Amino acid sequence: MSLLLASVGFGLITSAVLAIAAVAFTLQFAVTDVLNLAFAAVMTAGAFIAYLVNQSGYPVWAGLVAAMAACSLLSVLLNYFVYAPFQRRGSAPITLVIVSLGMALIVEFGTAAIVGGISVSYSMSQGSTVGLGGLVFTTVQLVIMAVSVLVMGFVHVLLRYTRLGKAMRATAANRMLARSCGIRASRVIATTWALTGALCGLAGTVFAIDVGSFDPSSTDIFLILILAAVFLGGPGNAYGAMLGALVIGLATEVSAAYIQPDYKYVVAFVLLLAMLAVRPAGLLGART
Amino acid sequence: MYYLIILLVYAAVDAMACLGLSQQFGVAGVTNFGFIIFQAAGAYVAAVLALPPDTANGGFQSYLGGFGLAFPLPWLGAAVAGGLLALPFTFLVGRRLRGDFAAVGLLVTAVLMNLLVMNYRPLFNGEAGVALVPAPLRQGMFVATSDRYQYGFAIGGIALTGVVFWFVRRITESPYGRTLRAMRDNDKVADSLGKNLVALRTGALVTGGAIAGLSGALLVSVIGVWSPAAWSYAETIVLFTAVIIGGAGNHIGAVLGAVLVPVGFEEVTRFITNNNPDLPPNLLPSLQWVAIGLLIVVFLWVRPRGILPERRRMASPRPAGLGAGGAASAGPAGGTRAVRADQAGAADAPILRTSRVHRDFGGVHAVDRVSLSIGRGTLTGLIGPNGAGKSTLLSLLAGTEKVSGGQIEYEGRDITSLPAYRRARLGLVRTFQLASEFKRLTVMENLLSAVPGHRGDSFLGAVAGRRYWRADERQATVRAYELLDSFGLAEHADDYAGDLSGGQRRLVEIMRALMAGPDMLLLDEPLAGVHPALARRIGAALRQLCQEGMTILMVEHELALMDEFCDPVIVMADGAVLAQGTMASLRERREVVEAYLVG
Amino acid sequence: MSADHPAAEPSLSAGRPDRTASAAALRAEGVAAGYGGDPVIRSVSVQVGPGEVVSVVGPNGSGKSTLLKALTGVLRVSAGRVSVAGREVTNLAPEEMARAGVGYVPQVDDVFAPLTVRENLEMGGYLLGRHQLPARIEHVLGVFPRLAGMLRRPAGKLSGGERKMLAMGRVLMLQPAVFLLDEPTANLAPAIARALLGEQVASLARGGAAVLIVEQRARAVLAVSNFTYVMGGGQVRLEGTPHELAADPAFVTSFLGGRADGGGRADGG
C-alpha cells in the first residue's frame, strides 16, 4: 500500500471525527451566537464519562451513549447558568469568548481533578482489518466513519426537513423575525445546546477511540482543528464545517506522510490564518 | 530566602507582562490571545544571545545562534524580538476582521507556535528547551549565587518594571493614548476622524510585544531555562485573568492583578502540594486552573471593570490668559484650515464633485449613478424619503463605504480610492446617524481626540512627553471650551459621553467633528433628538461657519430647518438625485411632492 | 376568521368607519415607547377594526416605525396599553404576540434570507399542525400567485416586490387577526408599490383581518385606507378618513413643512 493511500486512509478517519465536532460547534455558534471555546473540554469530559461506563464492564458503545447524554446536559447547563445570562446583559462577543475560555479551563481541569491527569484507554477490540479499494481500515475505524456519515445525514435531514431544524436555521438567520413567527427562540436555543452537546459527547468518545489513549488535555490541539474546519468552511455554516473537516483532516494526515508527522497541524494552522486574512466568511459563506 | 527573591522576580516579570497586555487589551481594545508567544520570543532570543554557540557545550542542546553577548544586549534583543514578532499579526487585527475572530486566530497561532518550537529541535532545542542560560553580570564583580547578587537582581527587575510602568503611563496619558482608547470604544468613528487603525493597532501590538519580550528576558535570566512547557497558551489566560481582575486599562490595576493572580495565587499555591503527600499529585494544580477559570467568569459577571476600574481623566481647567476666540483659532485646534495658496484661485470651483457614483447592495441600487457638485462655502441640505440612499451617499463620500463605480473628486483631487482616515486628514469629516460617541471617554476627551496634527497624537510624540505637546493640548482645550460654551455643554465636560442623553450625544458629535477642523463637513441627521430651540441655534451656528468658509452637506429630515438654513437642498429618491434648489422652490415641484407622498 | 368573511370594501367613498372601542381588533391607548432614553413616541392612540385598512403616515423620524415595534413587543411600552380583540397584550414578548394573533412584517429583514420560499412560509405557519400546513400554503399561494413558481428559491434571491409578498404571505400563514405592515412599499418601484397596496394589502383586509400599515407614500396608501393617522414628532397630529384628510391643507404641509407647526420633534436634549 502506498504512502499516499495510507495517509488518505488516516485522513478520512480524522475527517470523520472532526466533522462531527465541527458541525456541532458551528451549529452552536450559528444558532446561539456563542463561539464556545469550551467545546473541546466538554468533549473530553464526555470521553471520560464513556471511560467510566466502559470500566464498569459495559461496552464502549454504551459509554458513548452515556457520554452523549452527559455532554448534552452539561451544554444545556453551561448555556443556562453562564452564557445566556451574559447575553441577556448585552455583553460584547469578545467578552463571551473570554468567558468561554474560562469555562474551558473549569471543565478541562475539573475533569482532570476528578480523574487524575493520567492517560487511559477504553478496553475494546479494534476488530479485524478490512481492505477497501486499496485502503485498509479496522472494523472500529469503519464504524467511526459510518457513524460520522450517519451524523452528517442526520444533521442534513434535521436542518432541511424537520420543524425543529428549520426553526434553528430561522433563529440563526434572524432571531427577532423568528420570534415574530411565534417561535420561542429561547427554547430553540436550549434545544440546540442539548443537541450539539450530544454530538459533542459523541465526538469526544469517537475521538478517544480513534487516538487510542487519552488524557484530560488531549483535545487542546483538536480544538484548533475544529476551529480551522469551522472557519475554513464559513463560521455558522454546517455544510461548510463538513467540507472544512474533510479538507483539514486530509491535509493534516497527507502532509504528515510527506513532511514530518510533528508538523502536520501546521497545515491546518496556515489554512485557518489564510482564510481569516483573505476571506473571513469562509469557503461557503457564513451562517447556514 | 531564595524562594522570596524568586517570588519578587516573578512579580516583576508578571507585572511587566500584565502592563503590556493591559496596554493592548484595556487601552487599545486589541484582544491578543497569543500574548504569551511574545514573552516566549523574548526569552528565547535573550537566551541565545547570551549563550555561547551550541557546539560549545558538547552538543547536549542545539539552538540557533549562540552569540555569547554581554548584558544588556540580550535583554534589548528580547524587547526588539517581541516587538518585531508583532508585525506579521497586523493583518489579523487590521480593519476587516471581527475582534473575536481575530482573537481566535491569535489563540490558534499561540498553540501552533508552541507545537512548532517543541518539535523543531534545531531552533530552540525542542521540547527540552534551552538551559544553562547565563545570568547577567555574574562574572567579575558579582557572584551569581551570592545573596547580594540575588537581591540586586530582584531589585533591578523591579526597577525595570517601574520603568515599563512609567513608559506605558506616559503613552496612555498622552493624546496618542486618548486616540487608542477612542479606537477601543468605536473604531469606525476613529477611522472617520483621521485615525489610521492599522497603524494604531500595530503600534499597540508592537509596544505590548516588546514589553512581553523584555519580561521574557528577565524571566529566563533568573531561571536559566526556557522550554515550550513554560509558555503554553493557558499562561495567556492567566495573564488575562490578572488584567481583568486588576482592571483592564488601569496600570496600577494591572500590577495589582499580577500580584494577585500569577504571583499570589499561582506561585504561592504551587508549593502547597509538597506538604500534602496524601493527595494525588495532579489534584491541586488542576483545581488551581479551575479556580482561574472561575475567577474569570465570576469577575466578568460581578465586576467586569475589575478591582481598580480605568479612571476618569478630568479635563484640565480652562487655561487662563487665553480669551475666547482670537488667538485660539490658529494652530491645529483652530476652526477651518486656511485656504491654501494653490486653491485660492479656485475659490469658485466646487469643493466636492461626484460623477456617476454608484453603490449596490446585493442587487439593490442603494446609490444609483449620482453626479453632483457642492459649492464651496455652502450649507447644502440632502433630503428624501427613507431608503432614498442619503446615508449611503454620505458614507461613500466619507470613504466609510466603498463605491461600486463612479468617481469622487475633492478639492480637485480624485479621492475615490482613499480610505476614510486619509479623507478626514484632507479635511473631509463626517458624523454618523447612530450614536457614535466614544462612550468611556469624557466629553472633553471626545472633543480633544479629534484634533488633527496634534504633536502628542503619535507614538513618538507621546514618548517625547508632555512638555513636547503641552502647547497643542492647551490650544485644543481652549477651542474645546469655546465649543462647549456655545453648545451649552460646558458643565458636562468631565462626564462620560456614554452617560449623556441622546440629544446631548448628538451635540458632542457635532462638536467633535468641528474640532477636527474640517474644510467640509458631512452631517448625518445631526439634529435628531435635539430640542427644537437648540436645533435652531445650532443651525444658525452652522450657517455662520459656512460664511467663514466651511462647506457643509447635511442630511436632515426636519424640513423646517432646511427652509431656514440650507441652500441649496438636494432631493434624493430611489438612490438618485431627483431635484436641487431652495426648499421653497422644491416644494412647488411636482416630482418632489410626489416622491414624498406617492413614491 | 375565515377567508369569506364579509369585509368592508376599502374605498374613499366609504363613510367614516365605526371608531368605537367595541369594534376594535387592535387598540392602542396612550402608548409611549423608545430606545432606552426619552420616549420617541408619546401618548399615541390608534385602533383598527376587523376588515379595515388603517394607515399611519408621516415624514421620516415621526415615530411610525417605533409605534409598530411597540405594538409587536419588539420595543418595550413604557406607558399606555395595547389590546387585541379585547385582550390586553401590552409588553408581551414577540413570540407571544404572534400567538395572540398579531402578524408583523418589518420594514427590513422581513424574510429568512437563507431559507427557501417554502421554508419561509412553513416558519410563518410554525404554530400550525403539520397537517394544516399544505392547505395554508395553498391558500397563501392563492393570494400571492407569483410565489408559486419559486417555492424552492432562497428568499434572499427574490426581487424586492417578491420578497415583500413573501413576507406578507409568511404572516398570512397564521391568519392573524391583526396585520402590522412597516413601510411595505419602501424600495419598491412605484408600479409594484401601487399593485402591492391596491391588491395584496386590500386582499388581507377582505379576508377579515385588521390591517395597520405604516407608510411614507401617503397618497398611495390613502387610496386603500379606511382611516388614516398622520404622525409627527412622536405624536398623532391629524386623523381622519382619507376623504377628510385630502381636503385638509394641513395634510400636505405636515410632510413638506412650510408652516410653523409643521411637525415638532422629540425632545431628547
Q: What is the CATH number of the domain that holds B535?
A: 3.40.50.300
- Which B residues, 217 through 246, put their C-beta within 8 Å of a C-beta on chain A? 233-234, 237, 240-241, 244
* Mean pLDDT of the B110-121 span: 87
Distance (Å) of CA C93 to CA C43, C97, C112: 21, 6, 20
User: Lowest-confidence range among B132-146, B248-262, C118-132?
Assistant: B132-146
User: Lowest-confidence range among A224-233, B312-321, B362-371, C258-267?
Assistant: C258-267
- pLDDT band per the 50, 70, 90 thresholds, residue C134: very high
- β-strand partners of B361: B364
- pLDDT band per the 50, 70, 90 thresholds, residue C23: low
> Would you call B102 and A276 a contact, using CB atoms and an 8 Å cutoff?
yes
User: Does one domain contain both B268 and B354?
Assistant: no
- pLDDT band per the 50, 70, 90 thresholds, residue B111: confident
Burial of A64 (0-12, 13-18, 19+ CB in 10 A): buried
The answer to whether residue B192 is domain-embedded is yes
Is residue B10 scored above 80 in pLDDT? yes
* Mean pLDDT of the B231-241 span: 90
User: Does one domain contain both B113 and B220?
Assistant: yes
Which subunits sit against B, judged by 3+ Cβ pairs under 8 A? A, C
Q: Tell me, what's the pLDDT at A187? A: 95
- Which of C98, C113, C115 is the closest to A180 by Cβ? C98
- pLDDT band per the 50, 70, 90 thresholds, residue B267: low
Is residue B271 scored above 70 in pLDDT? no
- Which C residues, 239 through 258, put their C-beta within 8 Å of a C-beta on chain A? none
Contacts of A173 in chain C (CB under 8 A): 112-115
Gyration radius of chain A over CA positions = 18
* Mean pLDDT of the B262-282 span: 66
User: Does one domain contain both B159 and B265?
Assistant: yes
User: Does one domain contain both B120 and B29?
Assistant: yes
User: Does one domain contain both B349 and B287?
Assistant: no
> Which residue from B427, B420, B414 is spatially nearest to B402, judged by alpha carbons?
B420
User: Does one domain contain both B19 and B159?
Assistant: yes
Q: Tell me, what's the pLDDT at B433? A: 79
User: Does one domain contain both B296 and B351?
Assistant: no
> Which residue from A105, A70, A59, A72 is spatially nearest to A209, judged by alpha carbons?
A59
The answer to whether residue B199 is domain-embedded is yes
Contacts of B506 in chain C (CB under 8 A): 268-269
User: Lowest-confidence range among B160-164, B332-336, C16-20?
Assistant: B332-336
Q: Tell me, what's the pLDDT at B181? A: 96
Gap between the Cα atoms of B450 and B447, Å rounded: 6
The answer to whether residue B458 is domain-embedded is no
Domain range for B430: 344-437+500-597
Report the length, in residues, of chain A: 288
CATH number where B14 lies: 1.10.3470
Q: Tell me, what's the pLDDT at B345? A: 43
Is residue C106 scored above 50 in pLDDT? yes
> Which residue from A70, A19, A72 is spatially nearest to A48, judged by alpha carbons?
A70
- pLDDT band per the 50, 70, 90 thresholds, residue B234: confident
Is residue C34 scored above 90 in pLDDT? no
The answer to whether residue B359 is domain-embedded is yes
Is residue B56 scored above 50 in pLDDT? yes
Q: Tell me, what's the pLDDT at B14? A: 95
- pLDDT band per the 50, 70, 90 thresholds, residue C167: very high
Q: Tell me, what's the pLDDT at B320? A: 62
Q: Tell me, what's the pLDDT at B138? A: 66
Is residue C171 scored above 70 in pLDDT? yes
Residue to test with chain C: of A177, A186, A239, A288, most C Cβ within 10 A: A177
Contacts of B528 in chain C (CB under 8 A): 61, 265, 268
- Cell numbers placing B366: 442603494
User: Does one domain contain both B352 and B292?
Assistant: no
Is residue C14 scored above 60 in pLDDT? no
- Please tell me chain C's helix, strand, coil percentages from 3-state DSSP, rounded to the nearest 5: 35, 20, 40
Residue to test with chain A: of C69, C71, C92, C95, most A Cβ within 10 A: C95
The answer to whether residue B489 is domain-embedded is no
Note whether C110 contacts A: Cβ–Cβ < 8 A. Answer: yes
Q: Tell me, what's the pLDDT at B1? A: 64
Is residue B16 scored above 90 in pLDDT? yes
- pLDDT band per the 50, 70, 90 thresholds, residue B326: very low
User: Does one domain contain both B128 and B261?
Assistant: yes
Q: What's the pLDDT tens digit per position in A25-51? A: 999 999 999 999 999 999 999 999 999
Note whether A272 contacts B: Cβ–Cβ < 8 A. Answer: yes
Is residue B146 scored above 80 in pLDDT? no
The answer to whether residue B471 is domain-embedded is no
User: Lowest-confidence range among A272-286, B352-366, B536-550?
Assistant: A272-286
* Mean pLDDT of the B551-571 span: 86
Query: Which stretches of C111-230 are DSSP H helices?
Result: 117-124, 133-143, 160-172, 190-195, 202-206, 218-222
User: Does one domain contain both B570 and B424?
Assistant: yes
The answer to whether residue B520 is domain-embedded is yes
- Which of A102, A116, A262 is the closest to B119 by Cβ? A262
> Would you call C268 and B503 a contact, using CB atoms and an 8 Å cutoff?
yes
The answer to whether residue B486 is domain-embedded is no
Q: How many Cα atoms are found within 13 Å in the side-chain-facing hemisphere of B27?
A: 31
Contacts of B237 in chain A (CB under 8 A): 101-102, 105
> Would you call C268 and B507 a contact, using CB atoms and an 8 Å cutoff?
no
Closest C-chain CA to B561: C257
User: Does one domain contain both B359 and B283?
Assistant: no
Gap between the Cα atoms of B23 and B243, Å rounded: 10
Mean of pLDDT over chain B: 85
* Mean pLDDT of the B318-324 span: 57
Note whether A173 contacts C: Cβ–Cβ < 8 A. Answer: yes
Gap between the Cα atoms of B372 and C38, Å rounded: 38
Contacts of B103 in chain A (CB under 8 A): 94, 97
Q: Identify the structural domains of chain A with CATH numbers, from first to last.
A: 3-278 (1.10.3470)
Note whether A179 contacts C: Cβ–Cβ < 8 A. Answer: yes
Gap between the Cα atoms of B531 and C64, Å rounded: 20
Question: Which residue type, as a one-letter code, is found at position B71?
Answer: F
Residue with grid cell 422581513, as numbered in its chain: C110
User: Lowest-confidence range among B69-78, B178-187, C1-10, C22-31?
Assistant: C1-10
User: Does one domain contain both B256 and B358?
Assistant: no
* Mean pLDDT of the C223-247 span: 87
Q: What is the percent of chain B with per-residue pLDDT over 90, rounded to a whole number? A: 49
* Mean pLDDT of the B452-469 span: 93
- Which of A82, A112, A273 is the closest to B105 by Cβ? A273
> Which residue from B102, B83, B191, B419 is spatially nearest to A277, judged by alpha carbons?
B102
User: What single DSSP character describes residue B414?
Assistant: E
Contacts of B240 in chain A (CB under 8 A): 98, 101
User: Lowest-confidence range among A97-111, B62-76, B132-146?
Assistant: B132-146
Indicate the number of domains in chain B: 2
User: Lowest-confidence range among A94-98, C52-56, C160-164, C208-212?
Assistant: C160-164
> Which residue from A5, A35, A87 is spatially nearest to A196, judged by alpha carbons?
A35
Q: What's the pLDDT tens digit per position in A161-182? A: 999 999 999 999 999 999 999 9
Q: Tell me, what's the pLDDT at C188? A: 72
HEC string for A209-240: HHHCEECCCCCHHHHHHHHHHHHHHCCCCHHH
Mean of pLDDT over chain A: 91
> Would you call A173 and C95 a contact, using CB atoms and an 8 Å cutoff?
no
Answer whether the bond into residue B568 is a cis peptide, omega within 30°.
yes
Closest A-chain CA to C73: A180
